[in-house]
Chain A
Amino acid sequence: MTGQPNRLAATTPHQFSGSLIDRSKPLKFRLDGRIIEAFVGDSVLSAALAAGIDTAGQRGGRPLALSARFAPSIIPVRHPGDTLRALPMARVSVTEGADYLTVAGPAQRHGLLGRILRPARSLGLKLDGGQSLVQPWLDSPIEAELEYDLVVVGGGVTGMAAALAGNKAGLSVMLLEATSLLGGHSRLFGTQDGEETPDQSIERLSSAVTKAGIAVQLCAEVTAQRPGLLRVHIVDAAQGRAVLIHAPRIILATGAVERLPIFPGNRLPGVMGALEAFELASRYGVWPGQTALIATASNPAYRLAMLASDAGVSVTRILDTRPQPQSRFIEFAKAYGITMAPGLVPASAQPAKGRGITLASHLSAGRQTRPDAQVTGDRLIVCGGWQPDLTLWHMAGGHSRWNAQTHRLEPLDGPTGVALAGSAAGYFSRHAAVDSGADAVNMLLGRDRKPVHDVVIDPIHETPDAPCPISPLMPEAGPPAMLDSGLRLLERPHAPSKGRLSWRKKPRLWSLADTPQSLDIAAIAAGVQLDVIPADRAGIVAQERVGMVVIGTNSTPPPQPVTPPLVPAFLAARFGSDAELWLVAPVEPRMLDPGSLIHRSSSDHDPRHAVGVILRTSDKGAIALMARQAPQTLSLRDHGRAIPIRLVAPYMEDVRLPQ
């Protein structure tokens, strides 16, 4: 696999051989002119990553990783200008001979020389400034409108359970899943005692969904939502289309997003979240490098380490923010011989000389930290805990609040006809997540509800997640510390430096309120932890800053133009309650501008002393509103000049003056 250096070998059975790819069916396609080798079942993104392209571009002179949450859109090379045909890389399956270009804003594209000199592992985008990656497909015109009794967003175990419960209740159901297969993320989280395995749950539920004839749409991403209405972008056979779905009941089973630990270099190529690393490996057999470091605040990362070891990867160390973490996965990981390093916070990451990532860490004891040794690995897997994905919930008008115990935003009340279920609703165990799917249906139908029991292992045996790790603030310049791994390139705020040359630059006025991009929910959570957002305002900020495209607007038409009254209300009593209308004329021929103030004397130009004003011009001349008993000859100010004018005659149109 010389053309796929980051593809794991499948000589021995392991869970990272790639469930979606068919290794017996190799193919080739082009991306930005580069020939990329792949397998049937790959997405364009997984193929690019397998081929060693791990960099989206440069920001501030430093490389920025390509990932599932940060990848440019692509467009068939035969339609280079038709950006509405652009598609997200992660949702497009590769086909033999396909030829794609990445789509970028004009300022993000290098010139010819830059493209020629582009590093082999980079897509070569310029990612400075406030502009994030463009997503032209968000604006795709609506091609169809559909109607269902119930739409379930999210095809994990919760979503499938909800869809089945809705179907059983006699509702017409549409199940939407953003990726190319059902099942969600539960495989990473393993099994608790007494539970069926994730694979058993997924197999059981997906078979039942198929048997029930429930409409399932894969590769379907909800891009906007309001109660009763969803806007969905679907990728099907490398074609995109947008549809509106009307549904009086909507269940959001959108799971949880993984938090990105905040430290300089957390978006360098080679740094990746545990969930994405797991999915790339388990679905596509993609795992860059032979060695890996893991820095975590959550237990599933240990399970990832074991699965990676099974696949032949050498996990050299697991750093854990928690001083004495306990987990069944930790005990297994110890048995694998993996070195544990508890109580360590990632401090910074730098590209290692030659290849890989060098991680510096700090020993954490309460608020005190001190530097620890540096370690190097081919890649760094990070996990900062989990945040319920309330993005669509906030779009729909749902509320949320920060929970200081769990360090995450959790849902409160929401709009009628919309319900949350599973991890998105805050449940931890798979059993509860599945039960919550049926509970959400009961709630939407106004039926009696059974309590959902979220059985969580005792903290003595399974240490809860720590707050998302945040490195000590580093004074020296380094790669930026990003707040999240998504499309919005929000950097950790820092005080302006006061170096010798600091007078040359105006200090930048940074505020979260000014960032011209929506804030992903994980960035909101990071903002709370960094004290940029007060905890008691996190919910309202999350609701305000959710990104949304236009969906089913109900705007009222603008008012029809009307002829304004000759004397508008804002001139009422301006020149006395007995002001008069006059036709006025300049002594020298010229036009008189409406709004020009009329004075008794050419030397007086204080607007408070004006005795009249030009209202408008008519075929009879200029009409003025004049104080009663104004003299016949007057002066008008125009562009700072005094223009002599005279009263010609009272204006006779039947106009009622304001009292």
Chain B
Amino acid sequence: MSQAQADFAILGTTPQARLLAGLLAGTHGKSVVFVGESRSGFRLPRDLDLSIAPLTRPDSWALLRAAQPVVQKLITRIGGRTSWGRLDPVLFADSAEGQQALAHIRQIAQGFGLAVEKLRPNALSNGREGVVFRDVTMIHRVVAEPALDRWMVQQGASVLDPRSDIVVHTDGSGEIRFGEAAISATQCVLADDAAILRHLPAENWPTLLLRRPATTILTEPTGRIAAPVMLEIDSGLTLWQRPEGGVAAFAPGPMDNVLGKISALLGGTVHRAGQSQYESLITRDGAPAAGRIDGSGPDVLAGFGPSGMFFAPALARWLAGVATEDENRWLAARLVTRSAHTSPVAEYAAPLEAMS
């Protein structure tokens, strides 16, 4: 049996994981193996990729703002102009605290030069407040994902069969076997919720991360909603209306709760064209989490939300040891080993009872 060696094994299915693998291999000259399913063509979505997120920390917005043109240019080079589009998503909240967070998000985003408008009172519903972001970049995964797969290979990453046997050791190293071939990786990166849930043993589970059920529901065509993408920041619910009228809705929480919420938001009985309940992760303080488990284990990436892909270049630099001072500072404050108690990086997080 042949045994190759790689610097990094990136495990995950998201565009963030793919971009990270390709950048580590191509830009930073690392030897990289990537293991992750290409699923956007046939599975229900669990998240999406936007150049904005409900972030309440200015340093997060600063990183995101700087990354947006870079990632957009890169993804255009990788997947062509059809791999992304522009749209005007709406963020909204019903709760007083959510509306308070929304006001902060709007002010910070405006401070960074984004076009954000407060919707007129009751434009969405009685007592509901919302803001609309203009000209936001959204990645079209159906186009981008296969293009990213080809690009990763061009960048020198080894893209392995997702059915490979993977062993992640507590020191962060790992072994990937498929058939007669095996690759040892010096450092594994668990780059999405599914990878963390699958490969991180309970005894090494960080207190910052919480398992939660989550649900995706795809509706049959329904009336036009206020915006093609709507994020309800109270519960973390995302509504994404497709051109033919179906709405993909995903949120933390069990199926019945999410279904009830969607029915209420869409104003009536929901006819489901698909549904899926799965396990997801949240951080206790709502902020992204990165870094090594216990300081020396596998790297994890969690809680990056809809803009995770746009943080990939900074994460690649950080993992390669060439991050900027700002990036180092931002990520050092968001290590997965941090205490969630009175977190200095806390974001607005949906109350836990809204997700249970």
Q: Are B58 and A511 in contact (CB under 8 A)?
A: no
- Is A366 among interface residues, defined by CB-CB distance under 8 A? no
Q: Are B42 and A534 in contact (CB under 8 A)?
A: yes
Query: A507, A519, A561, A568: which contacts B100 (Cβ < 8 A)?
Result: A568
Q: Are B111 and A512 in contact (CB under 8 A)?
A: no
Which of B23-31, B172-180, B307-315, B347-355 lies at the interface?
B347-355
Q: A561-B95, A570-B56, A572-B344 are in contact. Are A516 and B219 (CB under 8 A)?
A: yes
Which of A212-220, A383-391, A588-596 lies at the interface?
A588-596
* Docked complex: B319-356 residues within 8 A CB-CB of A: 342-344, 346-349, 351, 353-354, 356
**Cβ–Cβ < 8 Å partners of B44 in chain A:** 513, 544-545
Q: Are B274 and A544 in contact (CB under 8 A)?
A: yes
**What are the nearest 4 A-B pairs in CB distance?**
A516-B246, A595-B103, A130-B244, A573-B344
Q: A517-B246, A570-B348, A594-B100 are in contact. Are A555 and B142 (CB under 8 A)?
A: no
Q: Are B221 and A568 in contact (CB under 8 A)?
A: no
Q: Are B111 and A556 in contact (CB under 8 A)?
A: no
Q: A514-B142, A549-B269, A558-B354 are in contact. Are A637 and B110 (CB under 8 A)?
A: yes
Complex Cα spacing A139 to B269, Å:
8
**Cβ–Cβ < 8 Å partners of B143 in chain A:** 509
12 contacts across the A-B interface (CB closer than 8 A): A130-B244, A513-B44, A515-B246, A516-B221, A532-B41, A549-B269, A568-B101, A570-B347, A571-B56, A594-B100, A608-B59, A640-B110
Nearest CB in chain A: distance from B140 CB, A: 6
Least CB separation from B98: chain A residue: A564
- Is A491 among interface residues, defined by CB-CB distance under 8 A? no
Least CB separation from A544: chain B residue: B276
Query: A139, A541, A548, A615: which contacts B272 (Cβ < 8 A)?
Result: A548
- Is A554 among interface residues, defined by CB-CB distance under 8 A? yes
Least CB separation from A556: chain B residue: B257
Query: B244, B343, B344, B353: which contacts A129 (Cβ < 8 A)?
Result: B244
- Is B19 among interface residues, defined by CB-CB distance under 8 A? no
Least CB separation from B109: chain A residue: A607
Nearest CB in chain A: distance from B160 CB, A: 15
**Cβ–Cβ < 8 Å partners of B5 in chain A:** none
Complex Cα spacing A571 to B119, Å:
24
- Is A618 among interface residues, defined by CB-CB distance under 8 A? no
**Cβ–Cβ < 8 Å partners of B163 in chain A:** 536
Q: A139-B269, A516-B273 are in contact. Are A553 and B100 (CB under 8 A)?
A: no
- Is B203 among interface residues, defined by CB-CB distance under 8 A? no
Chain A interface SS verdict (over half): loop
Contact string against A for B residues 233-271, beta-carbon threshold 8 Å, 1 for contact and 0 otherwise: 000000000101110000000001101110100000111
- Is A257 among interface residues, defined by CB-CB distance under 8 A? no
Q: A516-B221, A564-B96, A637-B111 are in contact. Are A138 and B244 (CB under 8 A)?
A: no
Least CB separation from A549: chain B residue: B271
| A-B CB pair tally, cutoff 8 Å | 196
Q: Are B285 and A511 in contact (CB under 8 A)?
A: no
**Cβ–Cβ < 8 Å partners of B105 in chain A:** 595
- Is B107 among interface residues, defined by CB-CB distance under 8 A? yes
A-to-B contact residues, CB < 8 Å:
129-132, 138-139, 506-507, 509-519, 527, 532-534, 536-537, 540-541, 543-550, 553-556, 558-559, 561-565, 568-574, 577, 593-597, 605-608, 610, 613, 615-616, 637, 640, 658-659
**Cβ–Cβ < 8 Å partners of B263 in chain A:** 550
Q: Are A547 and B271 in contact (CB under 8 A)?
A: yes
Complex Cα spacing A534 to B40, Å:
12
Complex Cα spacing A574 to B287, Å:
14
Nearest CB in chain B: distance from A648 CB, A: 21
Complex Cα spacing A616 to B351, Å:
21
Complex Cα spacing A659 to B342, Å:
6
- Is B6 among interface residues, defined by CB-CB distance under 8 A? no
* Docked complex: B99-146 residues within 8 A CB-CB of A: 100-108, 110-112, 140, 142-143
Complex Cα spacing A132 to B260, Å:
24
Complex Cα spacing A406 to B56, Å:
55
Q: Are B271 and A138 in contact (CB under 8 A)?
A: yes
Query: B37, B45, B273, B346: which contacts A515 (Cβ < 8 A)?
Result: B273
Q: Are B275 and A550 in contact (CB under 8 A)?
A: no
* Residue in A534, A549, A555, A615 with the greatest tally of chain B CB atoms within 10 Å: A555
Nearest CB in chain A: distance from B210 CB, A: 15
Query: B37, B82, B104, B342: which contacts A572 (Cβ < 8 A)?
Result: B342
Complex Cα spacing A188 to B356, Å:
50
Q: Are A545 and B274 in contact (CB under 8 A)?
A: yes
Q: Are A570 and B346 in contact (CB under 8 A)?
A: yes
- Is B4 among interface residues, defined by CB-CB distance under 8 A? no
Query: B41, B261, B346: which contacts A512 (Cβ < 8 A)?
Result: B41
**Cβ–Cβ < 8 Å partners of B342 in chain A:** 569, 572-573, 658-659
Least CB separation from A548: chain B residue: B272
- Is B97 among interface residues, defined by CB-CB distance under 8 A? yes
Nearest CB in chain B: distance from A395 CB, A: 10
**Cβ–Cβ < 8 Å partners of B220 in chain A:** 131-132, 516-518, 547
**Cβ–Cβ < 8 Å partners of B41 in chain A:** 511-513, 532
Query: A132, A519, A572, A606: which contacts B346 (Cβ < 8 A)?
Result: A572
- Is B218 among interface residues, defined by CB-CB distance under 8 A? yes
Least CB separation from A131: chain B residue: B221
Least CB separation from B112: chain A residue: A607
Complex Cα spacing A547 to B104, Å:
40
Least CB separation from B82: chain A residue: A507
Q: Are B245 and A131 in contact (CB under 8 A)?
A: yes
Nearest CB in chain A: distance from B257 CB, A: 5
Q: Are A616 and B285 in contact (CB under 8 A)?
A: no
Least CB separation from B61: chain A residue: A607
Q: A513-B40, A544-B276, A607-B112 are in contact. Are A130 and B97 (CB under 8 A)?
A: no
